[in-house]
Structure 1
Amino acid sequence: MRRPTTATRPASPTPPSPTTSRRTAAGTVAAATALLAGALTPTAAAADQPLPSRDDAIGHAQSAIASLAGRLGITDAQATTVRDVVVDADGSQHVRYDRTYHQLPVLGGDFVVHLAPDGGYRSADRAVLGDLAVPSVKPSLTAPKAADVAAAALRAANIGETLRKIVATPQLVVDALHGEPTLAWRTEATGQDSLGNPVARVVLTDARTGRQIDAWDSIETATGDGQSLYSGTVPLQTTQSGSSYQLKDATRGNTYTGDAQNKTDTCLLVICLERAPAALFTDADNHWGNGAASDRASAAVDAQYGTDTTWDYYKNVHGRSGIAGDGKGSYNRVHYGTDYNNAFWDDTCFCMTYGDGDGTTFGPLVSLDVAGHEMTHGVTSKTAGLTYSREPGGLNEATSDIFGTLVEFYAANASDPGDWLIGEKIVKPGFGKSALRYMDQPSKDGKSADCWNSSVGKLDVHYSSGVANHFAYLLAEGSGPKTIGGVQHNGTTCNGATVSGIGKDKLGRIWYRALTVYMTSSTDYAGARAATLNAAKDLYGAGSAEYAAVGAAWSAVSVG
């Protein structure tokens, strides 16, 4: 089974696994706004006391940073940039920051300042404790040498494949995620495989010694109706343009779907020299597709429907308007590449991209849970920014699986009823399994981990995610056999305990709050346990059944 990112070709002869990849811009440093509306049970602010605005929260946080710089490890050599803001229903504020050191991005420099409703400082969560200083910001290893190292690493990760158009562009950073802060080159190497599909890998190299510190795949995806491939006939909000209609939704941030025309991207880090098109789909009568691959619009219907449903889930359940929380839409590209067995989210274009599959192992990769998965990579990049490597990378992937699944349940679509399988609609008999992943028993895919152990972080992130997926299933559904969405599930536990579930809605609220308020780029499984317990305490109280259930579910997967 190929590591399921658009960045690699098979490392073994078994079929590639799609739907789980992402591409991020260097550092993913951006300011975003997220308002958590209606997700908390504590007493809301009084009607005559308006909630603090985003600017209010930032001002309060800046005041706290100025007075507590020493406690937060912030020195004159550092600068901070706001990435995200969350304001609770009771007025509590949480402001997330990225840091630079002598103008260099700091991997692991992110932190969250927690404030009371009156703006007073409460606490902070930091990705890395301690000093972020390095002896020098002048590298011994040159940028061209770092580029060569990254290009070699890309080739090594694609053994047996002839790569072309390889481009590697280094960025000098301070790496605080892998022990003592180190001056490093963060290099994204990109290229194309023999079919013209993109491959990409981020390589972190010690800028003094040339030692590779870490590496990971970086490709981490008017009212009409449409006949989809997987979800039946679905409603679509479209835009009338003259006598025709565009597959663009003005009610959801102008999100649209275009045809990539089986072309691919050629990118240089965050700049794409050649980008596959996204030729906007148009239609004469506002009835799109025919429910079969013979009409190219059918896959576009699935993609647009998936985007619409995911947008609605985040907005109606979590109060988040769009991926970045700013009300702006993304876009989809379907029919990408040739026989392309994957889908991916790309921060650099703020878009989802879907391949058609090879027809033997996978069909078009536009199912509902895939759309929810890929869009959630965007949400994660705008909030916790979980590093796509080791245990944080597993949690990043699990976050997309969890919310992709919850989007599927939210849709309540009779043609694709909710279940805890990932990608079950897109797999073909040639894949050899009924789904990509199984959240009730992750090890059923042959590679994912059911239970945490000290080696989990060494697994590919798509398999280390199994621990969190297992936790999420047990927290929502509990242990033991049951039929869900017409599929037989069996929630096993690693400690032999019987676990009672608290339901999907509470799982989603707890994980979303943990992601947006407490998790940071370095959060590992122990940190995820702490983050979700804090979230449960905020939402339901420290003595609540929900709080106890979170602890029990983590224990059931050997975390804690």
Structure 2
Amino acid sequence: MNRKTALAAAVAAALTLGTVVMASSQDVALASGPAVPGAGFRAMSASDRASALTQAGQEAGAVAKALGLGPDERLLPKDVLVDNDGARHVRYDRSYRGLPVLGGDLVVHRDAKGAVLSTSWAHQGAISLAGVTPKLSGQDAAATAERSAKHVRQARTTSKDSGQLVVWAPADGAPVLAYRTTVTGAGEAGADSREAVLLDAGTGAVLDQYEVEQGVSGTGNGVNVGQVTIETSQGGSGYTLTDALHGGTIVYDSYNSPQSNPAQNARAFSKSSNSWGNGSTSSRESAAVDASYGLAKTWDFYQSAFNRSGIRNDGRGAPAYVHVDNQLLNAFYDDSCFCMSFGDGSSQNGNTPLTALDVSGHEMSHGVTAATANLNYSGESGGLNEATSDIFGTMVEFYAGNTTDPGDYYIGEKLNMGNGYLRRMDNPAADGNSLSCYNSGAGSVDVHYSSGIANHFFYLTAEGTGAKTIGGLPHNGTPCNGDSFNGIGRDKAAQIWYRALSTYLTSTSNYASARTATLQAAADLYGANSQERYIVSKAWAAVSIGTALPDPGNGNPSPSPTPTSSPTGNPNPGGNALTNGDFEQGATGWTQSANDITNSTQQSAHGGSWYAWMMGYGSAATETLSQSNIAVPSTGSPKLTFWLKVTTQESGTTAYDTLKVNVNGQTLATYSNANASAGYVQKTIDLSAFRGQNVNLTFAGQEDASLSTIFLLDDVKIG
């Protein structure tokens, strides 16, 4: 977490900023209510969106200055979403001296009057490089990328794919000048699989690498959707598969063009009659019917559920290519060509085309992700990217109501694969590879398998635990912690996931960020004390991420049992009544109004590598860090102890900036800039008055309008 640098008072006055967050605050006091159509967003026409983007561009300079970005940085508006109450969420990409910043994206949240409330960052803080002249040549970068590729064999580059100079900005760590090079070779997606390799432009070290095609990698999905109505266009004496009702989406016959260029031999489908396909692969039109129908249903789903008009919310349809390559057991979306490609399958699945309904929804949803959070296709963010496509591909299947392919939570059940499906959201681990429960190694697993964690979360949120039959198939939502609860329904779960994706997640978001973002989205839509938000927290706990929030008491879910084990170690070491009191499990157990819990090397921990960094803005701000339902020991003299380090720009003994320790709303201690120290100092607070009670602990920080004070917390314990 590249954290809070003090903003000058003049800059802060130019544009008042509230809480700065990675995935938004969780403490939002809203009343519970019914589902809000469109995930709370207004429908926008193309002209409305264009006007909103123009306004965002006009505001970009002031926003950049207020956020403390450097003179070489520019914010480039990418999307604007407007809530029903007029609040705006503006997503910006970032450039540095004209170079794109990978991981530089952010979302600025404004109220209906235009005041900035908070900012969701991928990489927080200003970017500064010594220069933008690489030591490594583009030719050397290409050669290094070929040698370093791990997703493809016999990697090669072309002049078109030669290294692009970029700035790579990780969520934690210093930005570096880098090359992004695309290599092609044999891989899971076939003979022309592609992989992006990011190299340090100074040293040639590999920074990141991931598959470019975001598809059903190494698997497939392609059955005929049966007798359906599709939208076509008439011109001259014939018809084409051009869907004017859905942004002019055109389905092409790729004529076995390579994956790297599906348009190479492509021709538009056209004929004199308006009857297409024969229900089998003997007609090349049959797969095109599947794709046309599936993409139209996906468009309609996004329009109906979220007021979204197409992939980029601009009313423009993306071209689709069927019959791509030879023996291609894959389908994918490629943002560089704004297009989708579908293979014909292989002998592995009886040469079944990969044009099934949930696959079409899956691929088009990759485009929506690229246009919103743009989740990196590697590590935990890559798992979230894949899961998003599984989630919305599944929702499209339910939305379509096609009797040939009824809705269920199996991915690719029509693929004619050996085990009968590609992935299962109710029980991801059933395929022998996917993760059902989070563990610390999730970021090192193939993104198609780490996606199982979020898939499992979504299923449990929607359907709850226990066995049931859905779409004629058996489902069993088995939690990782033995819990039992009812779901909130798939429509509400989808509203929450979409709002989190489009409003709070950024390119570098991980699973902890996704938990925070979905809790915020649930609060936005249904209220901070709603049953919906409570179930979201229970579903995350049921996949081993965080703990459930206190029951708001307006529903009847089963209580959460005490976990018997933790996949990442004991959360309560040394008899500590607190969960994760040393912060070494990140945000697990804690609720933070900003992304305070960090392992940033800009400051030091008291023990281990993680700590909580509160305040330090140099402008008027408040923050809270809390944990609920803590069982204070019923015997002896229970105490709260923690280590605190205070550094400040203030002088004197007046308490301008404070950190209060509250238990059940009662302030037990106050620390301020006057308590500045060279290192960590242990603090002890008597909790005898709360002996045997379950309490809520809150650290509440407050900073005045100028000069910063930083409060560092670590090794917090109740015992």
Determine the structure 2 residue equivalent to 1:504. 490
Tell me, in whole angstroms, the C-alpha distance in 2 between the residues paired with 1:171 and 1:164: 16
Determine the structure 2 residue equivalent to 1:39. 38
Letter in 1 for 2:192: P
CA-CA distance at 1:278 after TM superposition: 2.9
Aligned pairs for 1:49-60 (under 5 A) are 53-54=48-49, 57-58=52-53
Q: 1:215 aligns with which of 201, 206, 209?
A: 209
* TM-score when normalising by structure 1: 0.85
CA-CA distance at 1:55 after TM superposition: 6.0
CA contact (8 A) 1:260 1:333 kept: yes
Q: 1:479 aligns with which of 465, 471, 476?
A: 465
Tell me, in whole angstroms, the C-alpha distance in 1 between the residues paired with 2:187 and 2:508: 31
Q: 2:68 aligns with which of 69, 73, 76?
A: 73
Query: What residue ranges of structure 2 are gaps of 5+ in the alignment?
Result: 1-35, 216-221, 547-719
Q: Which runs of 4+ in 1 moved over 6 A?
A: 192-196
Count of residue correspondences: 501
Tell me, in whole angstroms, the C-alpha distance in 2 between the residues paired with 1:387 and 1:325: 20
CA gap 1:425/1:302 in 2 versus in 1, 3 angstroms: same
SS for the counterpart of 2:291 is: helix
CA gap 1:493/1:207 in 2 versus in 1, 3 angstroms: same
State whether structure 2 residue 427 is matched by structure 1 residue 441.
yes
CA gap 1:194/1:480 in 2 versus in 1, 3 angstroms: closer
CA-CA distance at 1:174 after TM superposition: 1.3
SS for the counterpart of 1:440 is: coil
CA contact (8 A) 1:441 1:470 kept: yes
Determine the structure 1 residue equivalent to 2:242. 248
Aligned pairs for 1:345-424 (under 5 A) are 345-361=333-349, 363-424=352-413
CA contact (8 A) 1:189 1:200 kept: yes
CA contact (8 A) 2:481 2:543 kept: yes
Residues 496-538 of structure 1, C-alpha deviations (whole Å, 9 max, x = no match) = 1113211111111111111111110011001001111111111
Tell me, in whole angstroms, the C-alpha distance in 2 between the residues paired with 1:547 and 1:514: 13
Tell me, in whole angstroms, the C-alpha distance in 2 between the residues paired with 1:61 and 1:114: 12
CA contact (8 A) 2:383 2:451 kept: yes
Tell me, in whole angstroms, the C-alpha distance in 1 between the residues paired with 2:59 and 2:322: 46
SS for the counterpart of 2:145 is: helix
Tell me, in whole angstroms, the C-alpha distance in 2 between the residues paired with 1:279 and 1:345: 19
State whether structure 2 residue 462 is matched by structure 1 residue 467.
no
Larger Rg: 2
Identical-residue share of aligned pairs (%): 49
Query: What residue ranges of structure 1 are gaps of 5+ in the alignment?
Result: 1-36, 222-227, 267-271
CA contact (8 A) 1:234 1:305 kept: yes
CA contact (8 A) 2:332 2:341 kept: yes
Letter in 1 for 2:168: D
SS for the counterpart of 1:360 is: helix
SS for the counterpart of 1:251 is: helix
CA-CA distance at 1:157 after TM superposition: 3.1
Letter in 1 for 2:239: Y
Residues 187-234 of structure 1, C-alpha deviations (whole Å, 9 max, x = no match) = 11235789984221100111111111111111117xxxxxx9432100
Q: 1:137 aligns with which of 129, 132, 138?
A: 132
CA-CA distance at 1:410 after TM superposition: 0.3
CA-CA distance at 1:54 after TM superposition: 4.0
Letter in 1 for 2:193: V
State whether structure 2 residue 186 is matched by structure 1 residue 181.
no
Tell me, in whole angstroms, the C-alpha distance in 2 between the residues paired with 1:538 and 1:57: 22
CA RMSD of aligned residues (A): 2.5
Tell me, in whole angstroms, the C-alpha distance in 2 between the residues paired with 1:342 and 1:494: 31
CA gap 1:133/1:190 in 2 versus in 1, 3 angstroms: same
CA contact (8 A) 2:263 2:321 kept: no
CA contact (8 A) 2:156 2:183 kept: no
CA-CA distance at 1:96 after TM superposition: 0.3
Tell me, in whole angstroms, the C-alpha distance in 2 between the residues paired with 1:405 and 1:69: 39
CA gap 1:209/1:295 in 2 versus in 1, 3 angstroms: same
Tell me, in whole angstroms, the C-alpha distance in 2 between the residues paired with 1:421 and 1:133: 46
Tell me, in whole angstroms, the C-alpha distance in 1 between the residues paired with 2:182 and 2:372: 22
Residues 306-362 of structure 1, C-alpha deviations (whole Å, 9 max, x = no match) = 111001101111111111111111121111111111011111221111111113335
Tell me, in whole angstroms, the C-alpha distance in 1 between the residues paired with 2:157 and 2:63: 49
